[in-house]
């Protein structure tokens, strides 16, 4: 028996924010309508089959002018692995100084996603 599901998707790929429908049959995108650009089509197709999100959080800092360092994923993380990444990052402590953009965790959980410092932290004076 063929499973057919219709998803209404609002695109976040550009400021237009067009909406459309994506039809998924047996886990594969079979039809798309309503999207006005290639970004919308690509976003919608990925969103219904394998959604991903950017992840931002903080890690502890030792010996720095801040107690917490904001970090961000360099690329989107599969949605079902976000909380696993947060658990990993909860156990991370960096030692000041830290440069903005420095890789804090490389290849988190084998996902091929690096987490980078979103700002610099100076050491305590």
- CA distances in angstroms from 76 to 85, 88, 95, 98, listed in the order given: 12, 16, 26, 23
Q: What is the pLDDT of residues 62-103, one digit of tens each?
A: 999 999 999 999 999 999 999 999 999 999 999 999 999 999
How many Å apart are CA 83 and CA 81, to the nearest integer?
6
Whether the Cβ atoms of residue 64 and residue 121 lie closer than 8 Å to each other: yes
User: Which CATH fold topology does 56-117 show?
Assistant: CPE0013-like fold (3.10.530)
pTM reported for the whole predicted model: 0.83
Q: What is the pLDDT of residues 3-59, one digit of tens each?
A: 889 999 999 888 888 999 999 998 889 999 999 989 889 999 999 989 999 999 999
Residue 69 forms beta bridges with which residues?
59
Domain ranges in the chain are 4-50, 56-117
């Amino acid at each position: 028996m063929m499973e057919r599901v219709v998803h209404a998707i609002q695109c976040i790929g550009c400021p237009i924010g067009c909406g459309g429908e994506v039809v998924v049959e047996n886990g594969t995108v079979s039809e798309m309508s309503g999207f006005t650009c290639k970004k919308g089509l690509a976003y919608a197709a990925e969103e219904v089959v394998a959604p991903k999100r950017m992840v931002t959080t903080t890690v502890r800092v030792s010996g720095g002018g801040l107690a917490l360092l904001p970090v961000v994923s360099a690329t989107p993380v599969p949605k079902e692995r976000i909380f696993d990444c947060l658990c990993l990052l909860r156990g991370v402590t960096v030692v000041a100084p830290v440069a903005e953009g420095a890789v804090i965790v490389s290849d988190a959980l084998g996902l091929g996603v690096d987490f980078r410092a979103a700002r610099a932290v100076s050491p305590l004076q």
